[in-house]
A and B are shown apart, each in its own frame.
Chain A
Amino acid sequence: MPNKHLIKEFEKQIGRQNVMAEEADRQAYAYDSAVLDAVVPALVIRPTTTEELGQTVRLCHRHGLPLTVRGSGTNLSGGTIPSSTESVVIVTNALAEIIEINAQDMYGVVQPGVITANFAAAAAEKGLFYPPDPGSQTVSTIGGNVAENAGGLRGLKYGVTKDYVMGIEFFDAAGELVKSGSRTVKCATGFNLTDLMVGSEGLLGVYSQITLKLIPPPKAQQAMMAVFDSVEKASETVSAIIASQIIPCTLEFLDNFTIRTVEDFRQAGLPVDAEALLLIEVDGHPAEVEDDAAQIKELCTRQGATKIQMAQSAAEKDLIWQARRDALPALARLKPTTVLEDATVPRSKIPEMVKRINEIGKKYHITIGTFGHAGDGNLHPTILTDKRNHEEFSRVEQAIDEIFETALSLGGTLSGEHGIGLAKSKYLENETSRGTILYSRRLKKALDPKNILNPGKMIGEG
């Protein structure tokens, strides 16, 4: 039960309707999309103005209360699970104003709670393009995207969130407003705090305003689907495409298990015998698109694709992407618990990685469907289980350990886009070094001496 005086104080500053102290309300902010145990916070605050956001941080600082910022709570690494039952959760979804979209200088300025897809749509209305498109874009917030450095299907050609962040204003641990970056394309003013803030998972500051780069949209697109009878051929094709110096905007991979599951779910006529599918899209100037598409088609054939289907219309293009969009929903329906992992390897190691994931699945007798962003080496091995079955779930945990070990041994990384949070903090030293952890902890300690900003996440207890 949270302290009555404290609640009163927050209510006075932030307004009664934006302070949630009842247990039932607090329980609804105890989890996120990661498969981890919930922790019920002491208080949930939903500021409606930047001033209130700063006020909330200052109050937490004064009382030494740990705070966890929450956008939409869709992260897959436990980043928004409160650090302890003493924690205050700050919800940003009332700070959802698109402050400016500047078509002339091609940037947008938003509050942190703006929904990613809404921002992209607003930019599109002005004839501009915001490429980062996480699968959760209809619900995830820009603040959450920046804090996790979220990626998406277009990462291969257009990069991820960090490639679009030009500036961030944030409150530091004491609630002091810090401004970094600018609306100009170039900016060499001061420390590069903007980049420090990207991917900081709520540990270094609370974003209050974000300036994002926008680009002109491509004039033409061509989508296609290539069918393969072996995973090796499919992944060698990925390398071949990259080596030929064509960069598709999207290059996605589906394994046989995922293909069959999607087909059962949608009956869209996918080749269920295929060992792997590549879903490819090129975009750009119409002439270039035509050229690239022809070249990729030829490459796929040469690499042994058994069939290549070019989308002839918007409807056919949609059908191809529907298969990819269905991957997670279709898998998620098979079993109660879905653990969506994020292991990423250099692109040339994809065949090896897919093979090893399958072996791990067999070894631990668990079901794993693999799909993902082949073009950038970011795979999503998706483990289907039932967390109520403790025996099976402990095998799942072992398998996950092994998946990450494998990714690291192949020169990969723990997270392509989902962040470290609570879920993967125990592996962090393996990828980096003891020194990295210590350095990060010293940095955090210097910036947040009371250790109130999302403590215990990513770099563990300081």
Chain B
Amino acid sequence: MADIRKLVRLLNELDEELVCCTRCGMCQAACPLYGETGRETDVARGKLVLVENLSKEILDNPEAVKERLDRCLLCGSCEAACPSGVKILDIFLKARAIITGYLGLSPVKKAIFRGFLSNPDRFDRLLRWMARIQGPFSKQIDETLGSSCARFMSPVIGDRHYLPLAKTAWHKHAHRRFKRPNHSGPKVAFYPGCLIDKVLPRVGDAAMRVFDYHQVDVFVADQVPCCGIPALAAGDRQTFEQLVRKNIQIFESVDYDYLITPCATCTSTIKKLWPLMTENFPAALREKVLAISEKTRDINEFLVDVVNIQPIGDQPISEKRVTYHDPCHLKKSLGIFSQPRAVLSALPDREFVEMREADRCCGMGGSFNLQHYDISRKIGQKKSSRIIESGADVVATGCPACMMQITDLLSHAGCGIAVKHPVELYAEALDKMGETEAAAHTPASEAKAK
């Protein structure tokens, strides 16, 4: 085990950030976890105090700090609400990496991250194998949502209503090269992210449909390494860095204007965490990281701000309603909330309605859901009641992880509300509009390049 002095020294480097917390406690109102437990160690203020105390040797128990630091959705609600502008998530992630570096990664996580996640081919094979065996163990439970539950008691899955794994990863059959090298419209590299690739391929298909309609030239790589957030959240900086390098390798030889992702979490990881956590990369590599992160856009943002999509058809009054859940990684981390709403307002056959507290975290929080399913579900139940109360028959959201969590919640509630990505709904509308009418609408040649 490493030297405790080194741990203290590394944590001390966070002091400049830590000292900005004035202990005002305003993060309490925003934190979904604190909202359930009321424990000071669950809210940002308490966690920051523990990290600071560990770094000042007022507390000498890194295990205790790690345990409390890990109880967090990393949703960033606290940071968005913090009057002092404390970079809470940066501190949390860096502190997790430092403490994990000192304590070591748990054997299970080590096996998953270093054995599979960091090796995309092996990861794909594992999931293909799991997809094959999942059949006999699960049964479909909700047709609208496409959710399943475990057929037998399973300690891992518990009572979850989950979306089954895709038979093959989406990118295996979707990969493509730019078709029109000299074409004037935007050229995008599409990055589906693990969840869309392996659980929600329909979203990837929808994105392609939309790009084709707007004549956006697309590149899809034949390998999809993870963006690294699961590893980073677990404090495994080594795997994270490996994944960033792998991704850079794939995209460095491609000449694209934007890197588009339909996953809020991937977008915010690439845009914010890649630059944050690669400060020690060699200069040349670091430049590539910054370049890719600079070009990265959320797909809603791209469609509205770059492609400039317009309402489809005459917006007939409809009984059907769609509401929207703000993924934390889009709204709180990147400030993107008007664009997905603009996409939904463009739909011809649905009225857009706001739910209350649309930006309240759904409780997923990546692996938080695995480790603290009960709390995750309690937080989520507030979300599902807001969705139901909105009267919508579809809830849209721009993050596949939120989609999974909300699917689980709504499937349990059995309320017949579907969960979709805004891009899916937009693609469906394009399909419905039919070919003839389609010709009359904005083609991408009008779209602003860059």
Do A and B assemble together?
yes
In the complex, the answer to whether A28 meets B24 with C-beta atoms within 8 Å is no
| Cα–Cα, bound, A31→B22 (Å) | 11
Interface size class of A (residues with CB under 8 A): 35 or more
| Cα–Cα, bound, A327→B25 (Å) | 17
- B17 to nearest A CB, angstroms? 10
Verify if B83 is at the interface (C-beta below 8 Å from A).
yes
Verify if B65 is at the interface (C-beta below 8 Å from A).
yes
Verify if B85 is at the interface (C-beta below 8 Å from A).
yes
In the complex, the answer to whether A28 meets B84 with C-beta atoms within 8 Å is no
In the complex, the answer to whether A28 meets B65 with C-beta atoms within 8 Å is no
| Cα–Cα, bound, A388→B29 (Å) | 28
In-complex Cβ contact of A332 among B22, B40, B45, B50 (8 A): B22
In the complex, the answer to whether B64 meets A23 with C-beta atoms within 8 Å is yes
With A27-B58, A93-B38, A139-B29 known as contacts, the answer to whether A333 contacts B22 (CB < 8 A) is: no
- B176 to nearest A CB, angstroms? 43
- B residues near A2, Cβ cutoff 8 Å: none
With A23-B64, A24-B65, A27-B50 known as contacts, the answer to whether A46 contacts B38 (CB < 8 A) is: yes
Question: A124-160: which have CB < 8 Å to B?
Answer: 136, 138-139
Write the B249-276 contact mask toward A (1 if CB under 8 angstroms, else 0).
Answer: 0000000000000000000000000000
In the complex, the answer to whether B64 meets A72 with C-beta atoms within 8 Å is no
- B residues near A20, Cβ cutoff 8 Å: 39
Write the A327-348 contact mask toward B (1 if CB under 8 angstroms, else 0).
Answer: 0110011001110000000000
Verify if B59 is at the interface (C-beta below 8 Å from A).
yes
- B81 to nearest A CB, angstroms? 9
In the complex, the answer to whether B50 meets A24 with C-beta atoms within 8 Å is yes
With A31-B49, A329-B84 known as contacts, the answer to whether A24 contacts B29 (CB < 8 A) is: no
| Cα–Cα, bound, A336→B345 (Å) | 43
| Cα–Cα, bound, A72→B24 (Å) | 10
- A199 to nearest B CB, angstroms? 20
- A19 to nearest B CB, angstroms? 12
| Cα–Cα, bound, A91→B25 (Å) | 14
- B residues near A24, Cβ cutoff 8 Å: 41, 50, 59, 61, 64-65, 67-68
In the complex, the answer to whether A33 meets B23 with C-beta atoms within 8 Å is yes
In the complex, the answer to whether A329 meets B41 with C-beta atoms within 8 Å is no
- B residues near A27, Cβ cutoff 8 Å: 49-50, 53, 58-59
Interface size class of B (residues with CB under 8 A): 20 to 34
From B20, B23, B50, B59, residue with most partner A Cβ within 10 Å: B23
Identify the closest chain A residue to B17 (Cβ): A336
In-complex Cβ contact of B38 among A25, A94, A336 (8 A): A94
| Cα–Cα, bound, A388→B53 (Å) | 15
- A388 to nearest B CB, angstroms? 6
- B15 to nearest A CB, angstroms? 8
With A31-B49, A139-B28 known as contacts, the answer to whether A337 contacts B22 (CB < 8 A) is: yes
- B residues near A33, Cβ cutoff 8 Å: 22-25
| Cα–Cα, bound, A72→B39 (Å) | 10
A residues at B contact (CB < 8 Å):
20, 22-25, 27-33, 35, 38, 46, 72-74, 91, 93-94, 115, 117, 136, 138-139, 328-329, 332-333, 336-338, 386-388
A–B Cβ pairs within 8 angstroms, 21 of them: A24-B41, A24-B50, A24-B65, A24-B68, A27-B58, A28-B41, A28-B46, A33-B22, A72-B25, A74-B24, A91-B38, A93-B38, A115-B29, A136-B26, A138-B26, A139-B26, A332-B84, A332-B85, A336-B19, A337-B19, A386-B19
Q: A25-B41, A32-B23 are in contact. List 9 more A-B contacts (CB 8 A).
A: A24-B64, A29-B40, A31-B49, A32-B25, A35-B22, A139-B29, A332-B83, A332-B84, A338-B22
